[in-house]
Amino acid sequence: MLDVAALAGVGLKTVSRVVNAESGVSPTLEAKVRRAIEQLNYRRDANASMLRRLGGRTQTIGLVLEDVSNPFSSALHRAIEDSARARHVLVFAGSCDEDPHRERELIGSFRDRRVDGIIVVPASRDHTFLYQEQRAGTALVFVDRPAAHLDADGVASDNVGGSVAAVEHLLAHGHRRIAFLGDLPSIWTADERLRGYTQAIERAGIEPDGALIRTGLRDSETAGRAVHELLALPDPPTALFTSQNLLTIGGIRALRSAGLQRRIALIGFDDIGLGDIVEPAISVVAQDPQAIGRAAAEFLFRRMDGDTSESVHHVVPVRLIARGSGEIKPTERSS
Amino acid sequence: MLDVAALAGVGLKTVSRVVNAESGVSPTLEAKVRRAIEQLNYRRDANASMLRRLGGRTQTIGLVLEDVSNPFSSALHRAIEDSARARHVLVFAGSCDEDPHRERELIGSFRDRRVDGIIVVPASRDHTFLYQEQRAGTALVFVDRPAAHLDADGVASDNVGGSVAAVEHLLAHGHRRIAFLGDLPSIWTADERLRGYTQAIERAGIEPDGALIRTGLRDSETAGRAVHELLALPDPPTALFTSQNLLTIGGIRALRSAGLQRRIALIGFDDIGLGDIVEPAISVVAQDPQAIGRAAAEFLFRRMDGDTSESVHHVVPVRLIARGSGEIKPTERSS
DNA sequence: TGCGGGGAAGATAACGTTGTCAAGGAGGGA
DNA sequence: TCCCTCCTTGACAACGTTATCTTCCCCGCA
């Protein structure tokens, strides 16, 4: 900047004014400065600029995802990026793999860089450590799961409603013995989806059967094993509700290997890529990660703009997509 | 920081020393300072810190992807993030959707933030604008496609070799009429893959048939239409080589809708999720985005550490995964 | 007792930028 | 002609931190 000022033969402040498009610079000088900037390939240092500016915004936000490479996270990321770009805000993204320690570490790094706001898909069960942060003026939005012990905006899918819809869809096709496959109940979304399942079952006047409820499934392999065990029951289920991505895939593989993919109904929570190419095509309750990301970014920017109203919990609707696997009718009990 | 110094009753520099774990602070004072830091929840401002530090590194890199939410890009992203985390470096990621203008804009934003290095999946055909940047000491690595008119490190899949392998696999199963479906030939990878296809066909002593080569396909719909047209030829292909993700999906859909998914062979370039669940399972030449990302990060950090040796172009091997669709034998010509 | 050496601590300047304010010149009205 | 105003311009301090240098104190040795 000194070099630019020297080359243009003006003061530092004049260069600053040109760079910031402030009024009150004569066209002659402005042209000179612009030429010098061009010639020296000068770019203002945004960090230094923000340092000096009053209440300096870094025009930067942090994003804590479960894993930047999983489809749900990355769709979120993209939606948030698009909103941020419109405001000339850059996004730091990081994966925490459901590890609370890593979550804190990431948020710490963001804080060191003085991000203006943070969007978190929370991994830990206690976010009081963010209280200081929040009071210091960092905007905060929680996605997919609510904040624990902290008052902050949240955006999540309609987990209960979606599960109810899925189960009611199976009930409507005549199923009575519907199995539930879920992740660890300590994960909020997994628990919500189980709630929805139970609600729908009970509302239909069916006595819930504990043998049909399998939780704590962490990947497609364990889900597959669980399906095989369910099928071996004396009174096996006629339909499966796989309440998460990987479990759906495990379920499909298991049914396929048992040759039952056309006899046992299946609905998954969360869409899977290519769900329409498989035979039979997979019916799912699809989340809308774009809408979730958009909403999260919107809340974040609203807070960054100084909104101090009460915190909001926004629920994004889900959509049941019937593609075939969920519309299979129950068959006579085998042997 | 002033508050911390005041509370601990020490000078600024002492706080700085404690924060940076420099030697030469008495245990008594250090304890006092730590207590004050704890009490005030103080965190050093990394931006200000880097501003003052000599040859200041921001411990930050920029990543220009095609789209953070596509599987290839996000797998790259994750691998790079992991390498970066090990060095306490944070990653800015952005999508440019193959738009050269957006690419420049993103790189400009990165530059304003004084990132230490940039990894680019290039969209534009001219990167001379990065020359200044490179000379100013910003490390630069190009991924998936080489830099245009700029001397910089590059990492890419073995596009030619992979395509040759795919076509030779089909040849080995008896196919002679193998169609090629590709993206715009102006895209480097698309062109490389076409080169591989042509090479393998010619090496097998087969006269290339222009009618079997369909390029300029931008999405799965146009790919599907192209497949239908190919099947309608007087002398239709017995095998398809779909040289990109979306085209593979379009090809599968088209074959399925024509009821030919078990009679016409198909190999795709780049793996598709759930490729093993479809019937028949899809054979592909799989790229290794993790390895690409790791290599790119490694080169970047090496440059950041001051390596000024000649630029390197690293080729990452691909792997042919036979799952079924690529092992279908040619059938008698229909009608 | 005096002097030199070494280590701990702080004062001060500087990083690249912008906020504040004062200086200077042009122009217009009395 | 003089004075007041307005606009352009630049000098200077400050943002939060670290590099450099100085000060000061304690200890050991002659």
- To the nearest whole percent, how much of chain B has pLDDT over 90? 84
Q: Sheet harboring A265-269: ordered strands across?
A: A213-214, A178-181, A239-242, A265-269, A283-286, A319-321
B26 touches strand C (CB under 7 A): yes
User: φ and ψ at B321, to 5 degrees?
Assistant: -110, 110
B51 touches strand C (CB under 7 A): yes
Task: Determine contact: B132 vs chain A, CB below 8 A.
Answer: yes
Tell me which chain B residues have a C-beta less than 8 angstroms from the C-beta of A118: none
Given the structure tokens 């991505």, which residue do they identify?
A245
Residues B115, B120, B124, B130, CA torsion sign: positive
Distance CA A130, CA A137 (A): 11
Distance CA B223, CA B218 (A): 8
Distance CA B180, CA A128 (A): 57
Tell me which chain B residues have a C-beta less than 8 angstroms from the C-beta of A45: 51, 112, 114
- The alpha carbon of residue B148 is apart from the nearest alpha carbon of chain A, in Å, by 20
- To the nearest whole percent, how much of chain A has pLDDT over 70? 99
| Cα B263 to Cα A28, A288, A305, A319, B149, distances in angstroms | 74, 37, 60, 36, 46
pLDDT digits (tens, 9 = 90+) for A132-189: 889 888 999 999 999 989 999 999 999 999 999 999 999 999 999 999 999 999 899 9
* Residue among B65, B68, B245 with most chain A CBs within 10 A, to mutate: B68
Do A268 and A245 touch, CB atoms closer than 8 A?
A: yes
Given the structure tokens 């902050």, which residue do they identify?
A152
Provide the pLDDT confidence category of residue A333 given band limits of 50, 70 and 90.
low
Q: Is A202 helix (H, G, I), strand (E, B) or coil?
A: helix
Given the structure tokens 């990065």, which residue do they identify?
B130
Q: Look up residue B330 and give its DSSP letter.
A: P
> Of A54, A52, A75, which Cα lies nearest the Cα of A63?
A75
Task: Determine contact: A111 vs chain B, CB below 8 A.
Answer: yes
Q: Is B255 helix (H, G, I), strand (E, B) or coil?
A: helix
> Of B83, B84, B76, which Cα lies nearest the Cα of B58?
B84
Query: Does residue B229 register a pLDDT over 70?
Result: yes
Please indicate whether, in this complex, the C-beta atoms of A67 and B75 are within 8 angstroms of each other.
no
HEC profile of A278-327: CCCCCEEEECCHHHHHHHHHHHHHHHHCCCCCCCCEEEECCEEECCCHHH
Please classify residue A54 by burial: count the beta carbons closer than 10 Å to its beta carbon, then call 0-12 exposed, 13-18 middle and 19+ buried. exposed
Nearest to B273 among A50, A85, A274 (CB): A274
pLDDT of amino acid A332: 61
A3 touches strand C (CB under 7 A): no
Taking the CB of residue B332, how many other CB atoms lie within 10 A of it? Answer: 7
pLDDT of amino acid B334: 46
Distance CA A225, CA A213 (A): 14
* Residue among B74, B91, B270 with most chain A CBs within 10 A, to mutate: B74
Tell me which chain B residues have a C-beta less than 8 angstroms from the C-beta of A91: 92-94
Pairing of strands A283-286, A319-321: antiparallel
pLDDT digits (tens, 9 = 90+) for A49-67: 999 987 779 999 999 999 9
Nearest to B77 among A69, A108, A110 (CB): A69
**Rounded to 5°, angle at Cα A209 from A208 and A214:** 110
Q: Is A90 helix (H, G, I), strand (E, B) or coil?
A: strand
> Of B189, B129, B184, B166, which Cα lies nearest the Cα of B315?
B189
> Of B240, B329, B325, B73, which Cα lies nearest the Cα of A277?
B325
The amino acid at B124: S
Do A93 and A116 touch, CB atoms closer than 8 A?
A: no
pLDDT digits (tens, 9 = 90+) for A182-212: 999 989 999 999 999 999 999 999 999 999 9
* Residues facing residue A150 across a β-bridge: none
Average pLDDT over residues B261-274: 93
**How many angstroms separate the CA of B191 from the C1' of C3?**
81
| Cα B291 to Cα A3, A103, B45, B90, B162, distances in angstroms | 43, 25, 34, 20, 16
Distance CA A331, CA B248 (A): 35
B2 touches strand C (CB under 7 A): no
Q: Which one has a higher pLDDT value, B278 or B262?
A: B262
Please indicate whether, in this complex, the C-beta atoms of A69 and B71 are within 8 angstroms of each other.
yes
The helix (H) or strand (E) run that includes residue A161 is: helix A159-172
Average pLDDT over residues B159-187: 96
pLDDT of amino acid B22: 85
Given the structure tokens 């698309």, which residue do they identify?
B190
Average pLDDT over residues B166-193: 96
Q: How far is CA B152 from the centre of its chain?
A: 16
Query: Does residue A335 register a pLDDT over 60?
Result: no
Query: Does residue B333 register a pLDDT over 80?
Result: no
Do A72 and A296 touch, CB atoms closer than 8 A?
A: no
| Cα B88 to Cα A170, B45, B57, B59, distances in angstroms | 49, 15, 12, 7
The amino acid at A154: G
Distance CA B110, CA B65 (A): 13
Query: Does residue A219 register a pLDDT over 80?
Result: yes
Taking the CB of residue B90, how many other CB atoms lie within 10 A of it? Answer: 24
Query: Does residue A334 register a pLDDT over 80?
Result: no
pLDDT of amino acid A233: 96
